[in-house]
Amino acid sequence: MATIAFTAEPGKPEVLITRMFEVPRTSLFRAYTDPLLIPQWWTNTTVDKMDVRPGGVWRYVTHAGGQESGVYGVYHEITAPARLVYTFEAEGMPGHVQLITVTLEERNGKTLLTQQSVFQSVQDRDTMAQYGMETGAKAGFDRLEAVVTKL
């Protein structure tokens, strides 16, 4: 498995995650924007809505332990196959919105994925970190790699 860099600087309300993938960026972009691929790398998840365009909304539902929980957001920028900007919010936790920017930079047939998550406060960022954001990101990107290597 590839190495992931997870950076959460003290005092800054953001997390920066980077990882190199052994695939072209078009494959990664597709995995982020194809509703048939999302459930393959988001564990136990179904896509309820996914309108991939600026102003379009998305909503995923995760099924675990006999319960469902939803996450949703709005796409702000779609620049295929290089960049996605969207919000992320968990249902039941209003007011804790993240702005996520995913940048895909192709390098000799590989792709450097950079994901910046900007939180509304350092406290929100720290709370997500306590709930296993780093571990979840690593596992999710491992599953993402398995999906994109098959494309």
Which tokens is 74 given?
A: 């709005």
Which tokens sit at 116? 């910046």
- Domain extent, residue 37, equals 4-148
- CA–CA distance, 30 with 52 (Å, rounded to integer): 11
For 9-46, b where at least 16 C-beta lie within 10 A, e where not — what string? eeeebbbbbbbbbebbbbbbbbbbbeeebbebbbeebe
Question: What is the spatial distance between Cα 30 and Cα 28, in angstroms, rounded to a whole number?
Answer: 5
Out of 45-49, 51-55, 88-92, 126-130, least confident range: 126-130
Query: Considering its fold, how many domains does the chain have in total?
Result: 1
**Any idea what the CATH number is for the domain that residue 26 is in?**
3.30.530.20
Cβ(140)–Cβ(16) below 8 Å: no
Residue predicted with more confidence, 53 or 130: 53
Question: CA 142, CA 93: separation in Å to the nearest integer?
Answer: 27
Confidence of residue 133 (pLDDT cuts 50, 70, 90): confident
Query: Mean pLDDT over residues 79-107, rounded?
Result: 95
pTM for this prediction:
0.94
Cis peptide before 81 (omega within 30 of 0): yes
